[in-house]
Amino acid sequence: MRFGFILAALLAFAAPALAQTPAKELFGAQTTASRGWNTPFGSYARGCLRSGDQLAETGPGWQAMRLSRNRNWGHPSLISFIERLGAAAQGAGWAGIYVGDMSQPRGGPMLTGHSSHQIGLDADIWMLPPRSLNLSPQERETISSVNIATEDFSSVSSNWTASHMAVIRAAASDPAVARIFVTPAAKIWMCENATGDRSWLRTLRPWWGHNYHFHVRLSCPRGAGQCEDQAPPPPGDGCAEAQTFLNNMLNPPPPPPPDPNAPPPRPRGPLTLADLPNQCAAVLRR
């Protein structure tokens, strides 16, 4: 609470200096949500969240993991999605889902880890199928998820099961979901094994580092005029593109020759408050 008063004063009287402070330090220090109507501002990787809701540590179909990070916050639409996915996972034979990082209380850049998860519309769902939903807070800090890719990432590992596809399919079929990031081997397996309606495969996007969890990203909620959606995925199921992604990951093509006339690249520093939507300063103050 004391930090909040100090921060409010600094924002009011030292705005020019704070505008260049790494935003992750400002938002990472917040422990509670701001006041006001639940609103995402900006984009998934450059924004903030006014009046985020905190996901309950344990619910009928989920448990929030790594509670010490205080990243179990999101827009109400994300909380509702997790409730739906937990129930769907139980229908697929899991006890529910383990929920990893969502957003910070006021969104914004994080001190460590993600470049996205800034507006309360992203959530990491562990690949570890829960056997129960009665983990203690300490167990949630020490238990680890499972790797569903082989060591060289070329295919799924023995940890992968058909129930993983059932859970991911349920998530990808949810109308609130814009895209889901998964390791390419998992998407390729699902492309090879999916039957019936395949439209949900379009939502799955191959990406590095998503072999211990899958990353769900929701579309901007209706009426959130200051929220910036990504462009929709290209038409089609994306299966050929996933194979190309994997091929290039395993055997990277040679880089293009340097352009002798191009200016040298400018080093990129951390995002500052000045890089975020104007509303984010008020989100910090309140």
The tens digit of pLDDT for each residue in 225-266 reads 999 999 999 999 999 999 999 999 999 999 888 888 888 877
Are the CB atoms for 220 and 228 separated by under 8 Å? yes
Within 10 angstroms of residue 241's Cβ, the number of other Cβ atoms is: 16
What are the residues whose beta carbons fall under 8 Å from the beta carbon of 43, sequence distance 6 or more? 118, 119, 228, 230
Give Cα 108 distance to the centre of its chain. Answer: 12
Do the beta carbons of residue 257 and residue 222 sit within 8 Å? Answer: no
Joined together, the tokens standing for residue 205 give 């996007």
Write out the DSSP string of 228-268.
-PPPPPPSS--HHHHHHHHHHHHSPPPPPPP-TTSPPPPPP
Which residues does 271 contact at the CB level (< 8 Å), separation at least 6? 22, 23, 24, 46, 109
Residues 6+ apart with CB under 8 A from 282: 34, 50
Mean pLDDT within 108-117:
95
pLDDT in tens, 189-223: 999 999 999 999 999 999 999 999 999 999 999 99
Structural domains of the chain sorted by starting position, each given as residue range(s) with its CATH number in brackets: 54-251 (3.30.1380.10)
pTM above 0.75, yes or no: yes
